[in-house]
Amino acid sequence: MKTATAADVLISEPADLYHARAEDYLSSHQLADFRKCPLLYRRKQLGLAEDADRPAYLVGRAAHTLILEGRDRFEAAYAVGGPVNPSTGRPYGSRTKAYAEWAASLEAEVLTDDQAALVEQMAAGVEANAIAMELLSEGVAEGVVRADYCGIACQARLDWFHPDCGIVDLKTCDDLTWLESDARRYGYAHQLAFYRAVLGAALEEDGPAEGPAFCEGTRSVSVYLIGVEKREPFRCGVWRMGGEVLGLAQKENEEAIGRLLRCRETDTWPTLYEDVRTFDYL
């Protein structure tokens, strides 16, 4: 039986196509919604609630594109600047009708000059970290993997996969000092544990998996987190996610998937606040 590699199971797929398949596959984002509130998960699934797209999300997406996929892909996906007012010789403001019409005429997403400068500074911050650059020196950007996991069809879009180092995820943050707190607040360990598990399931489907990207003595892929600040001095740091943390997060993910399957069977979607809670600490 052949030895499977990530190249065997990771596929290249446009982001819009990946998101369009959300009806058929469970993602880490959907599972996070379910862990927080099954009713929220269900309302989003039915199209009754949507995620708001904020300027910070646009900047984050653009930074991911430039840092992970390169300048050619960045320049193809994003337009910078805007139309110039002939009366003043200055660009129209981003809230003007002229700017909105110009942006609507483009196939690319639009960044203001300030947003584009911010993206460039974040990319420079990552480039200044030798360990981050080593992790991103070789591998696959935005690879998609799909597999059956815990009795449900799942999908994941990995920021980066390095053949020797494993999964690498890029996060932008306001202050690198608090990235570990952000990780707890936003469930980064659960997200990356889901990625690791779905990739592992796909590799198992394709054949026995082994190699330097796997943790010694286990069949689990190593996981790294790169964080970069969105403000001066644009520091960049690298964390290796601990196996125990990922294991605990994976256990909680699998318990949540079990609850999700039961909710589907009964068509019951609680808020998780149906009972009285006790507030007994300061």
Full domain range(s) for residue 180: 1-49+128-274
Mark whether 88 and 114 lie in a shared domain: yes
Mark whether 74 and 148 lie in a shared domain: no
Q: Is residue 279 part of a domain?
A: no
Spell out where 13-165 has E strands: 78-80, 84-85, 90-91, 109-111, 140-149, 152-162
Last residue of a domain, one of 120, 143, 175: 120
For residue 83, what are the CA distances in angstroms to 62, 75, 77, 97, 229? Answer: 21, 17, 18, 11, 30
Structure confidence at residue 101 as a pLDDT band (50, 70, 90): confident
Residue 143 · residue 6 · CB < 8 Å: yes
Mark whether 88 and 228 lie in a shared domain: no
Mark whether 69 and 195 lie in a shared domain: no
| Distance of alpha carbon 138 from alpha carbon 81, whole angstroms | 32
pTM of the full structure: 0.89
Mark whether 64 and 112 lie in a shared domain: yes
Reading the block at residue 175, the tokens are: 């202050």
Mark whether 133 and 84 lie in a shared domain: no
Of 216 and 92, more confident: 92
| Distance of alpha carbon 166 from alpha carbon 71, whole angstroms | 24
- Which pLDDT value is given to residue 217? 38
Residue-wise pLDDT tens digits, 17-64: 999 999 999 999 999 999 999 999 999 999 998 887 777 889 999 999
Handedness of CA 154, 166, 15, 115 (dihedral sign): positive
| Distance of alpha carbon 137 from alpha carbon 277, whole angstroms | 49
Number of domains in the chain: 2
Mark whether 155 and 253 lie in a shared domain: yes
Mark whether 139 and 190 lie in a shared domain: yes
Q: What is the domain-level CATH number for residue 270?
A: 3.90.320.10
Region 158-178 average pLDDT: 96
Residue-wise pLDDT tens digits, 179-220: 999 999 999 999 999 999 999 999 886 554 555 554 443 457
Mark whether 86 and 20 lie in a shared domain: no
Q: Which of 282, 281, 278, 273 is nearest to 36 (CA)?
A: 273
- Which pLDDT value is given to residue 105? 87
Q: Is residue 149 part of a domain?
A: yes
Residue-wise pLDDT tens digits, 218-273: 457 899 999 999 999 999 999 999 999 999 999 999 999 999 999 999 999 999 99
Q: Is residue 39 part of a domain?
A: yes
Mark whether 64 and 190 lie in a shared domain: no
